[in-house]
Amino acid sequence: MLSANELESGYGRARVLFGVSLDVGPGQLVCVMGRNGVGKTTLLNTIMGVLPATSGAVTFDGRDVTRLPTHERARLGMGYVPQGHQCFPQLSVLGNLLVTMEAARTGKESVDSALDLFPGLKPLLKRRAGHLSGGQQQQLAIARVLVTRPRLLILDEPTEGIQPSIILEIEEAIERLHASGLAVLLVEQYLDIAVRLADRFVILDAGQVVRTGDAGDLHGEDVHRLLAV
Amino acid sequence: MTAVVNQLPIGLSIAAVLLLVALGLTVTFGQMGVINMAHGEFIMAGAYTAFLLGDLLLALPAAFVVAGLMGLALERGAIRHFYGRPLDTLLLTWGVSLVLQQLARDLFGAPNVQVPAPSWLSGGIGILPYNRLFIMALAVAGVAGIWLYLTRTRLGRRTQAVVQNRRLAATSGIDPGRVDMLTFFIGSGLAGLAGVALTLIGPVGPALGTYYIVDAFLVVVAGGLGQLRGAVLAAVGLGLLNSYAEFWSDASLAKVLVFAAVIGFLQVRPQGLVALRSRALT
């Protein structure tokens, strides 16, 4: 479904990724792990085209998207929820969902089904998104991307800085989406969440893949060493 | 006392023109962060469009399109390569502004031209001449139009999304470049409307835009960047201040007073009249 092949990128002269490869199969949930600053967000940004790849290739559904602008990747079905529960702060919650629905040319029912996954958003539809709590904004951020009817969901630390009650809801939502057959690429700091949700995992260190495997292999001394801060 | 009252329609119509010019800037400078010094020349282009057509009602849509297309060409041809580099944009558009002024001199001659006001605008109600009333109505319509566009239409919502979080908009499937083009077209078109309005109260010359561009930037900054409500308040305030100061002293001293007032105001409230928490000009 998605495959990154020997991706390299960075900011100006500072290289961050040194040839990262990974694959997400149809319906698979792949978890990218690693300490702060090893290039997880950079990897997602490069996959999404927010940051240009200096070499390597990104293939989505058999199509080379490496040179495609971000918005066209989104329209192909790559649903990206960036770090930090981002939204359009001056638009209402409903406005956030509608503007995305219109850009993706999906119908009203996509908004309804996204709200069914996060019923907590329903009473907030008229509120300004910028006035929501971080957890509510994160739910909105995921709901907003679901409105585009993505075939691959890319989540960057969806539980970071969120109150525990909502972490649980978000986790359950991801689990349900995955169970319904949606492929997910997830960056996650919490080892327990990764073990619970992931089919496969990739551990990054200093811009390179240092371990990959099935979720069951996600234990042992070296794993903890690679993930410890 | 009568002098104060008599000066009011003049002040309000100047405020209306300022508002129309500043509306366009609110969109391009306030929301997109582009300092477009050639915005004044779009006013001039609108005014000359009215001069060429000779018909006020025909001139309004025509000037909007002419100025809008010039803005579009400027954005596509030059400005988009300089996003995030305000100083380079400033120099670039200033250069374009000078070129456009010279172009107008070559095309229409250096002396000012007069656009005859239509007969149905002569006369007035009491101290309110019809031509100045028309300008005020145009400004009100402009504000209402922009407000409806931003809050009630799909394209307006998309524009807001790009302004508020450009990267997120792109990852949501919105093409930010296309939204930029549209935003620039509308913002520049509004300057064209202001140009038509100006033909009703004075002659048209190649330097017409330069008289308004600085004041319009003042309106946008004093009103709070990208804020419609702020721009309206600041335009009315500055327009009245300007015309009264000019009435009681002279044009140069009036400018000094207006500048002093704005500088003083920004010392107290650097974010402008209406502040937006989550958006900064970077």
Query: Of B160, B173, B278, which has the smallest distance from its Cβ to A103's Cβ?
Result: B173
Q: Per-residue pLDDT tens, chain B, 282 aa: give them.
A: 677 888 888 889 889 999 999 988 888 887 777 889 999 999 999 999 999 998 999 999 999 999 999 999 999 999 988 887 888 999 999 999 999 999 999 999 999 998 888 888 888 887 788 989 999 999 999 999 999 998 899 999 999 999 889 899 999 999 999 999 998 999 999 999 999 999 998 899 999 999 889 889 899 888 887 778 888 999 999 989 988 888 888 888 888 888 898 899 989 888 888 876 543 333
Average of per-residue pLDDT across A111-123: 94
Mutate to test the interface with B, among A99, A110, A142 (most CBs of B within 10 A): A99
Q: Hey, which residues does A59 pair with through a beta bridge?
A: A3, A64
A36 lies in some domain: yes
First to last CA, chain A: 32
Neighbouring CB atoms inside 10 A of B116's CB total 9
Euclidean distance between CA atoms B2 and B6, whole angstroms: 6
Euclidean distance between CA atoms B232 and A90, whole angstroms: 19
- Quick check: A86 and B168 CB within 8 A? yes
CA-based nearest residue to B188, from B96, B86, B51: B96
- Quick check: B161 and A130 CB within 8 A? no
Q: Look at the block and give the residue holding tokens 């391009």.
A: B28
Whether chain B has a CB inside 8 Å of the CB on A13: the answer is: no
Q: Do B238 and B280 contact (CB within 8 A), yes or no?
A: no
Q: Do B47 and B200 contact (CB within 8 A), yes or no?
A: no
**Single-letter amino acid code for the residue at B30:** G
Whether chain A has a CB inside 8 Å of the CB on B152: the answer is: no
| pLDDT tens digits along B208-229 | 999 889 889 899 888 887 778 8
- Quick check: A99 and B175 CB within 8 A? no
**Single-letter amino acid code for the residue at A112:** D
Q: Do A8 and A18 contact (CB within 8 A), yes or no?
A: yes
**Single-letter amino acid code for the residue at A204:** L
pLDDT of residue B280: 36
| Structure-token pair, residue B169 | 């908009």
Dump the DSSP string for B121-181. Answer: GSSEETTEEHHHHHHHHHHHHHHHHHHHHHHHSHHHHHHHHHHH-HHHHHHTT--HHHHHH
A217 lies in some domain: yes
pLDDT of residue A117: 93
A206 lies in some domain: yes
**CATH code at position A213:** 3.40.50.300
Domain count, chain A: 1
Cα–Cα distances (Å) from A94 to A88, A122, A147, B110, B211, in that order, read 11, 9, 11, 54, 43
Euclidean distance between CA atoms B158 and B153, whole angstroms: 9
Residue A92 φ/ψ, nearest 5 degrees: -70, 170
Residue A144: list chain B partners with CB under 8 A. Answer: 172
Query: Of B172, B276, B279, which has the smallest distance from its Cβ to A148's Cβ?
Result: B172
Whether chain B has a CB inside 8 Å of the CB on A98: the answer is: yes
| pLDDT tens digits along B178-212 | 999 998 999 999 999 999 999 998 899 999 999 88
| Structure-token pair, residue B105 | 């001199």
A182 lies in some domain: yes
Domain limits for position A41: 2-86+151-227
Euclidean distance between CA atoms B10 and B21, whole angstroms: 17
Q: Do A204 and A38 contact (CB within 8 A), yes or no?
A: yes
A31 lies in some domain: yes
A209 lies in some domain: yes
Whether chain A has a CB inside 8 Å of the CB on B69: the answer is: no
Q: Look at the block and give the residue holding tokens 């450009």.
A: B166
Cα–Cα distances (Å) from A127 to A137, A144, B176, B198, in that order, read 11, 15, 25, 41
Euclidean distance between CA atoms A96 and A105, whole angstroms: 14
pLDDT of residue B277: 53
Distance of residue B169 Cα from the nearest chain A Cα, in angstroms: 8
- Quick check: A50 and B170 CB within 8 A? yes
% of chain B at pLDDT higher than 70: 97
Work out the mean pLDDT of chain A and round it to a whole number. 92
Euclidean distance between CA atoms A156 and A170, whole angstroms: 13
User: Any residues with CB less than 8 A from the CB of B195 and at least 6 apart, and which?
Assistant: B42, B43, B44, B45, B46, B47, B48, B49, B50, B63, B67, B204, B208, B209
Side-chain-facing half-sphere of A89: CA atoms under 13 Å: 16
- Quick check: A74 and B160 CB within 8 A? no
Side-chain-facing half-sphere of B79: CA atoms under 13 Å: 29
- Quick check: B160 and A91 CB within 8 A? yes
Q: Which pTM value belongs to this model?
A: 0.86
CA dihedral of B60, B30, B232, B230, whole degrees rounded to 10: 170
